[in-house]
Structure 1
Amino acid sequence: MAFALFPIGAVGLSTVEGVSAYWVRLPTGSKPIRDIYTAGVPTATDGKGAVMMALGVLDSLVIDDCEDAWDEDVPENFTVSLDTTDKVVGTSSVKVDIAAAAAAGTILCEIVAPGTALPKFTHLEFWIKCSIATTAGDFKIHLDDNAKCASAIEVLNVPALAANTWTHVRLALATPQLDSAIISLGLEYDVDIGACTVHLDDFRAVRLATVATPLQVSQFVQDDVYFALSEPVDSAYHQNALMLVYYTSPDEDPTCSN
């Protein structure tokens, strides 16, 4: 059985021989594919098909589900509400309208479950959308064991955001060993970027480790180096991913004349 191991980035729709699918190309120098497992999703130990090795979520803890409007401390020029139409997880998201007069450094806060302990977790994940494009650090997330994020233990930069686009964000916790009694979650308007609307959804702490995820191969080009997955791969979510592909090449096919 032939084998290929290579880094894999985002896999979106592309076209090979006129067919639109989630195509992946084997690395240069790989043997072509005579046959590959397409009967479904194999197990990680089957030794067939495609398996992705990437950082994955082993454990998670919801910090705030964004099913109620944040109200621990609502600063001047901030208006907070629930949006039941524009959301990602659950039935609603938190909508934050920020007026042009809002001051840089202002923090909107929400109470979280008393004493939320994060030492065993490695990252904070959440969904965010802004009505205007931003640069990294324009917004920051605060986690604090004091009310109203008075002296945050964690201050994490939100990455650059495209306008009007939900973005899944995964941020490494700086000092998880100190995050033993979190009671306040905050969104800091760190840079005066003008009036905008921010949506927030599904804040959770996660513990990451490298895991093997079997992937379904839906089709392939026989005696070539292209195969298609049944669904896309998001490289932002599946970080540092490697693809392991097991298949039969022409020189291993017992029915092949050569």
Structure 2
Amino acid sequence: MARIAGYGGNVFVGTQVIQTCDVAWSEQVDGDVTLTLDNVDYRVGTGSNKMVQAGALGTGDILASQVISLSTMASLTVGFGWFKSSVNINTLDDYRVLIDNHALCASPEVQLSVPPLVANTWKFCRLVVATGAFSAATAPISVGLKLQANDPGAATIWVDELSAAAEIVGIREWALDVAVGVQDTSSFSDGQNKVFSVTQKEWGGSFSGFKDGAPLGIGTVVALELQESSTSTQMWRGSGIITAVHTSVAVDGIVNYAYDFQGTHELEWPTA
């Protein structure tokens, strides 16, 4: 089990699922894209959308879009999503997630930048606003994926659960526990040597520093960014459930809140 002390980070609440990606998108699919539901290679739910891009797909093309029905997103500030590419995507904003009050993502109210991706590696991505604003997405009915720049040629991109949330506060301190369960799978052929296999991964921890407004409630689902340094890629990212609240008051009268959380789904590890 590893225990990591923290540098800083961010907390996001009010998570709204935009699209689960558990069904194949069908509102529109570009003629240069072959889209299928991948029930084998996915991160959340029961599948991901696998989009095979032909070399003829061009910059500015929408790979695919899907009908959605959401209430206003005006209070939200940032998007999240799982992405994987068969080739390296080296630049922020090569792909964009589109959210539109109109069909077929014809005139998106907000466009979110997909960050760089390492080939054949799933990444839980923070999707920052490139153009538009969540405040304009008052009744979104379409979500899509667009090739914005730097056409990679023939390539495949996978997309899984897209969501959005509101950033509420920075983290002053955090601690994270990452553990794995094992099961004895020894057999007669192993002789006197015990053999173990990984069963389940588990992560959780605590953070403090939230002092604005009302405290987070027990059971609140939050998105977390736990930074190890000022380098943006050196952070742990994932979703957790608040399991405990600890309140204290210093001699100067400042109220401090600390929270315990249990991680849910997969934890995105830092990179160099």
**TM tier relative to shorter chain:** 0.5 to 0.7
Shift in Å, 1:117: 1.6
Structure 1 position 137, deviation (Å): 1.9
**Structure 2 residues without counterparts, runs of 5 or longer:** 179-201, 206-222, 230-272
Q: Confirm or deny that 1:190 pairs with 2:148.
A: yes
In 1, the alpha carbon distance for the partners of 2:3 and 2:175 equals: 13
How far apart, in 2, do the equivalents of 1:232 and 1:61 lie? 22
Closer/same/farther in 2, CA of residues 105 and 211 from structure 1, 3 Å limit: closer
Please give the TM-score of this superposition, normalised by the length of structure 2: 0.60
Partner of 2:83: 128
Q: Secondary structure at the match of 1:148?
A: helix
Matched, 1:204 2:151: no
Q: CA deviation at 1:188?
A: 0.6
C-alpha deviation, 1:158, in angstroms: 1.2
Give the % identical residues: 30
1:208 is paired with a residue whose SS is: strand
Could you tell me the TM-score, scaled by structure 1's length?
A: 0.63
What is the number of equivalent residue pairs in this alignment? 184
Q: Relative to total residues, which structure has the larger strand share, 1 or 2? A: 2
- Is contact 1:52–1:215 with CA below 8 Å preserved after alignment? no
1:151 is aligned, of 78, 98, 107, to: 107
Distance 1:103 1:216, change over 3 A: closer
Name the counterpart of 1:61. 16
Deviation at 1:95, TM superposition (A): 0.4
With over 3 angstroms needed to count, the CA separation of the structure-2 counterparts of 1:217 and 1:156, relative to structure 1, is closer
Cα pair 1:59 1:207 within 8 Å, conserved: yes
Unaligned runs of 5+ in 1: 1-20, 25-49, 219-229, 243-258
Closer, same or farther in 2 for the Cα pair 1:195/1:240, shift >3 Å?
same
| 1:160-180 CA distance string (max 9 Å, x none) | 111111111112345121111
Name the structure, 1 or 2, with higher relative contact order (CA <8 Å, separation 6+). 1
SS at match of 2:225: coil
Equivalent in the alignment of 1:142? 98
Larger gyration radius, structure 1 or structure 2: 1
Aligned residue in 2 for 1:81: 36
